[in-house]
Structure 1
Amino acid sequence: MAGGDAVELSDHGLKLSIDRRKGRASSLVSQLVDGIAEAIGQRRILSGEKLPSVRQMAMHLQLSTFTIAQAYQRLVSLGMIASRPGAGFIVASPVTMEPAPQPRVPPSGPNDAWLLSEVFSDQTASIKAGCGWLPSGWLDGIEFGRALRSLSRTMKSQVGGYGQPFGDASLRSRVAFELARFGVPADINSVLITQGATQAIDLVIRFLLKPGDVVVVEDPCYCNLLERLKLARVQLLFVPRTPAGLDTDVLEALVQKHKPKALFVSSALHNPTGTSITLPMAYKVLQIAQRTQMLIVENDVSRGLAPPDAPMLAAMAGLGPVIHIGGFSKTISPLLRVGFIAADAATLEALVRLKMVTGLTSSAVTEKAVHQILVDSAYRQHLERLRHRLADVHTQIERKLCAAGVELFHRPRGGLFLWGRLPIDPAEAREVTARALRQGIWLAPGMYFSASDTASAWFRFNVAYCDTDRFWQFLSAL
C-alpha cells in the first residue's frame, strides 16, 4: 500500500500495511479488515488459528484498542473470524465464509439497467472510476459515531413510532437556514425532507407531469432523472449542456415552439459534465422561463462541493418559479439517504401527500443524524477540506487524462466529475466498458446519460477514484 507502514506479526502469519496519512483513501478499520481478510483468503492463517488479542494487535500496530475492536467485530460480522469466550478471536471455518462477489457483466454488455443496479454493490469493481460518490476515506471528517451515540440516548422513547410527514423539524429548519445563506427566501414551511434526492425527483415528477407533457432536460443528462422521466411517458426535449451552462439559443427555440411545462437543470457541478452555470447564463435561463411561465426544477445535490459564488436559481428567482432539490450524499454519506425539496407552501402540501401515499415517512433516525452533523462546527471545516482536496485532485487527473489522449469537455476544478472523450471509435464504447469491468474497473460511458442510447466516446470520470496505476495502464492500452 502506497505510503503505508508494513508491520509483520510473525507469530501469527500476518503482515499488515497501514496507511496513516491524513488524506488516506481508506479508514484504519477498513485497512485492518482488508489486510486480515486477505491473509485468510491466501491461507497465510488457517481455520482455527488464534489471532492476536485486541491489546496485542493495538500494541504491535500502534493503534487504539477501539480501532482494533471495531475491525475484529466487522470480521466477525463477515463470518471470517469468530469470538470464543476465554480464547479470544480465531479464524472461522471456511464453510462460514462467502466468496466475494465478482463483477457481473450482462450478456449484452453494460447498459443503463446495470448502471442503476449492479454498480451500487460495493464489490462489483475495485476501481470505481465512473461512480457518483466519494470514497469512504474522504468522509473521515464526519462525526458519524458521535451523532449516532447522541441519538441512541435521546430516541429510546420514539422507536415505536413513525417520523414526521414533512420530516424532522430541526433538520427542516437547518436546511432553510442554509438555503437562506445563499439568498433563498426559505423557512421551515418551505422544506420537505425526502429519502434521498432520488425520491425528491420522483415526487416532483409525479406532482408536475402527466403522460404526454413536454419537458426540457439537459444533454447529457443525469441518468436516474432520465430513466424516471421515461417511466412518466413524457415528451423529452434536449438542450445541449455547455461549459457555461446551457445553450440558450437552443433553449429559446424549443420553448417558443413547444411551450414545455418544465425545465430540469443542474445549476452547480452538473452530473455528468461537472460544469456550473455562469451568472449571465443563469439570468438568461430565468428570463426564458419567465416569458413562457415554464417551471424550473433545480437539481442541486452537489452544492456543498461548489464554489461559494456558483449561482443558485432558487435564490435568484424565488421558490415560486423554481422547485429546488438538494441532498447530502455527496458531502456526508449516500448511505443515509436524506434529501429535501424546497418549494412554495402549496406545492409542498401536494408533495407531502404524495410522499405519504408512496412511501410513508422518511427515517427520523437518519434525519436527526444529519441534523447533528450539520450543526457541528466540524462540518464546515469538512466541506472546506473536501473542496480544496477536490481542486488539487482535479488538477492532477486533468493533466493525466490529457496525457492519455482524453479530450476534456471542461476543467471545473471542483466537484466529483470530469467529462472526457476517449481516443476510441464511439462504436467501441460498450466493449471498452465491458473490458474495463472484467479488469475490475467501472467506467460510465456517455450512452448512459443520453435518451437516444447513441454510441459515444464520451465518459464520466470521478476524479476521487481515478489515480491508480491499473486505471492509467488500462487507458494507455486503448
Structure 2
Amino acid sequence: MGEGPRTAAVMDTIRRRIGSRALAPGDRLPSIRGLAASLGVSPSTVVEAYDRLAAEGLVRSRPGSGFYAAGPVPPPGLAEIGPRLDRAVDPFWVSRQSLDADAATPKPGCGWLPAEWMPNAALRRAARGLARADDAVLSYYGGTRGPLALRRLLARGFAGEGLDIGPDRILLTGSGTQAIDLICRFLLRPGDTVLIDDPGYFNFQALLRAHRAEIVGVPYTASGPDPDRFAEVLAAHRPRLYLTNSALHNPTGATLSPAVAHRLLNAAAAHDVTIVEDDIFAEFEPEPSPRLAALDGLARVIRVGSFSKTLSASVRCGYVAAREDWIEALVDLQVATSFGGVSPVAAALVLGALGDGGYRRHLDAVRRRLARARRDAAARLDPLGIRPWLMPRGGFYLWCRLPGGRDAASVARAALRDGVVLAPGDVFSVSRTAGGFMRFNVAQMDDPRVVPVLERALATAGD
C-alpha cells in the first residue's frame, strides 16, 4: 500500500470514530505515535492524515497539545447538492444552473465547449513547460499590465485585422468579465445609462445591475443592432456606454454588416458614446467580419476578450485594448481592486498553448466540427417544431423559436426537473420580449437525454 492509500485509510478511521461518536466533539485524538503503531503505518502518515482532516474542518490542532475532534460535518444542504429548481428565471439563472450542475448533467444551455473539444494536449505541454519556470512565476504577483510576450502576441493578431497598436495599449486581466467590470468601474457612476443588445448576452445585464446602471435595449437584427432605433435610443437616453458582442453575436449568432457598423460608429460619435466590443467569439468565424475597434482605431471603442471559449475556461485570462490614457487608468484601477492583474501562472499557460504549433490546427478542426454540429442540432430540433431564427456563419449557438407559443422559461424549468439545463430567451432580453425563444449550444446537444427531455418539457409547457 502506497503512502496515499495509507493516509486515506487513517483518515477514514478517524472519520468513522467521529461519525459513531466514539470521538465526541472536543475529545483528543489518539497520539500520533500511538495511532501509527496500532494501524501499522508511519508517524508521518498519521501527521499527514491529521493535517488533511484539519483542513476539512473535521479536527482541530492545538499547538503543544495535539489534535481534537471538531464534530461531524453537517450533511450538505440542498443548494450544495445541485442547482435550485425554484430560482427566478433572470439573467443569473442560466449561469448558476450551468455552473452548479453536476459534470454529468447535459447542458445545452451553457456557454462553453465540451472538455474533450478543447486543446488539452497543448495545455498539458504548456503545464510541463511551466514546471521549469522561474520560481518567481510560481510565487510572485504579476506585473500590472501582464507579460509583455503575451501582449505582443495579441498585438500581432490585431494587426492582421487592421488594428495596428502596440502592446502598451493592451492590459491583461483576470478574465473577460473582469475586463468589462474594470471598464464599468472606470467609466460609469450609479444611475448612468448603458445600451445593450436585445436580445444580448445575459451576463451583461447581471454585471450592469451590480454597477447600478440604468439598462436600455436596442433590437438586434440579422445584420446587427437596428441602426435607426440605435440612433433614436442614443438621442432619447444619452447612454454612457454601448456594450455588445462582435463577430458571432450571443445569443443570436448574427454577424454585424459593414453598413450597420459604420452607422453605429457615426451615431456614437455624434452622441459621445463609448462602445465596448466583446470579441470573445472571433476565433470561431470562418472569415473575419467587421470589427468596430478596427474601423474606429480604438478612438471611442474599447475591445475586450478572453481565451475561455477557445483555450480553457479554467485558465482565466482576459484583455482590454483601448486608448493609452485609458489603459493607464485601468492599470491603476486593477491594482486597486485586485493588486495586480492576470496570474503569471495563467498567463504562462495561455502563452505556451497559443504558441504551440497545434493551436491553429485545433481551431480549424473545431470550426469544422461546429459546422457539422450546427446542422445536426438543427435537424434534431426540427421534428420538435423548434426552428433557428437564422443559421449562423460559425460559432456554437442556435437562437431558436419554440413551437406553438411555448414559454421558454416554463420549458427550461420542466427540463431542469429532468436534469437538463437550457437557456430560455427572456434571460437575454432586457425588455422581456424573447419568451418564445431558446438558445442552444450545439456542441452540448449530443447527449441522448437532451431531445427526449426537451420533448417532454415542451409537452408540459403546452398543457
Tell me whether the two structures share a fold, i.e. TM-score over 0.5: yes
* Aligned partners of 2:409 and 2:425 also within 8 Å: no
Aligned with 1:194 (options 153, 168, 173): 173
Q: Give distance in 2, aligned partners of 1:124 and 1:154.
A: 32
Q: Is 2:85 aligned against 1:116?
A: no
For 1:380, the equivalent position in structure 2 comes to 360
Q: Is 2:153 aligned against 1:180?
A: no
- Code of the residue aligned with 1:232 in structure 2: it is H
Q: Give distance in 2, aligned partners of 1:109 and 1:256.
A: 33
* Aligned partners of 2:398 and 2:442 also within 8 Å: yes
Cα pair distance change 1:273/1:331, threshold 3 Å = same
For 1:168, the equivalent position in structure 2 comes to 147
* Aligned partners of 2:94 and 2:109 also within 8 Å: no
Deviation digits for residues 137-196 of structure 1 (CA, Å, limit 9, x no counterpart) = 111465111101111102324433211111111111111111111111221101100111
Aligned positions of 1:165-314 closer than 5 A:
165-314=144-293
Q: Aligned-pair distance for 1:104?
A: 2.7
* Aligned partners of 2:254 and 2:390 also within 8 Å: yes
Cα pair distance change 1:368/1:212, threshold 3 Å = same
Q: Aligned-pair distance for 1:291?
A: 2.3
Q: Aligned-pair distance for 1:111?
A: 4.3
Q: Give distance in 2, aligned partners of 1:144 and 1:106.
A: 35
Number of residue-to-residue matches in the alignment:
383
For 2:118, the equivalent position in structure 1 comes to 139
Deviation digits for residues 262-312 of structure 1 (CA, Å, limit 9, x no counterpart) = 211112111111112122221221122122222111011111112323111
Q: Secondary structure at the match of 1:270?
A: coil
- Code of the residue aligned with 1:300 in structure 2: it is D
- Code of the residue aligned with 2:156 in structure 1: it is F
Q: Give distance in 2, aligned partners of 1:115 and 1:470.
A: 19
Q: Give distance in 2, aligned partners of 1:246 and 1:342.
A: 23
- Code of the residue aligned with 2:377 in structure 1: it is I
* Aligned partners of 1:244 and 1:281 also within 8 Å: yes
For 2:350, the equivalent position in structure 1 comes to 370
For 1:395, the equivalent position in structure 2 comes to 375
TM-score norm. by structure 1 comes to 0.75
- Code of the residue aligned with 2:99 in structure 1: it is F
Q: Aligned-pair distance for 1:222?
A: 1.1
Q: Is 2:302 aligned against 1:323?
A: yes
Q: Aligned-pair distance for 1:243?
A: 1.1
For 2:399, the equivalent position in structure 1 comes to 419
Cα pair distance change 1:108/1:172, threshold 3 Å = closer
- Code of the residue aligned with 2:347 in structure 1: it is E
* Aligned partners of 1:394 and 1:413 also within 8 Å: no
Q: Give distance in 1, aligned partners of 2:214 and 2:416.
A: 34
Q: Aligned-pair distance for 1:117?
A: 3.0
Cα pair distance change 1:360/1:117, threshold 3 Å = farther
Deviation digits for residues 42-79 of structure 1 (CA, Å, limit 9, x no counterpart) = xxxxxxxxxxxxxxxxxxxxxxxxxxxxxxxxxxx9xx
* Aligned partners of 1:265 and 1:299 also within 8 Å: yes
Cα pair distance change 1:324/1:391, threshold 3 Å = same
Aligned positions of 1:55-134 closer than 5 A:
102-108=81-87, 110-121=89-100, 123=102, 126-134=105-113
Q: Aligned-pair distance for 1:425?
A: 4.0
Q: Aligned-pair distance for 1:249?
A: 1.0
Q: Give distance in 1, aligned partners of 2:409 and 2:97.
A: 16
Q: Give distance in 2, aligned partners of 1:367 and 1:162.
A: 12
For 1:462, the equivalent position in structure 2 comes to 441
Gaps (5+ residues) in structure 2? 1-51, 53-72, 459-463
Q: Aligned-pair distance for 1:213?
A: 1.8
Q: Aligned-pair distance for 1:472?
A: 1.4
- Code of the residue aligned with 1:166 in structure 2: it is R
Q: Secondary structure at the match of 1:198?
A: helix
* Aligned partners of 2:82 and 2:101 also within 8 Å: no
Q: Give distance in 1, aligned partners of 2:213 and 2:88.
A: 28
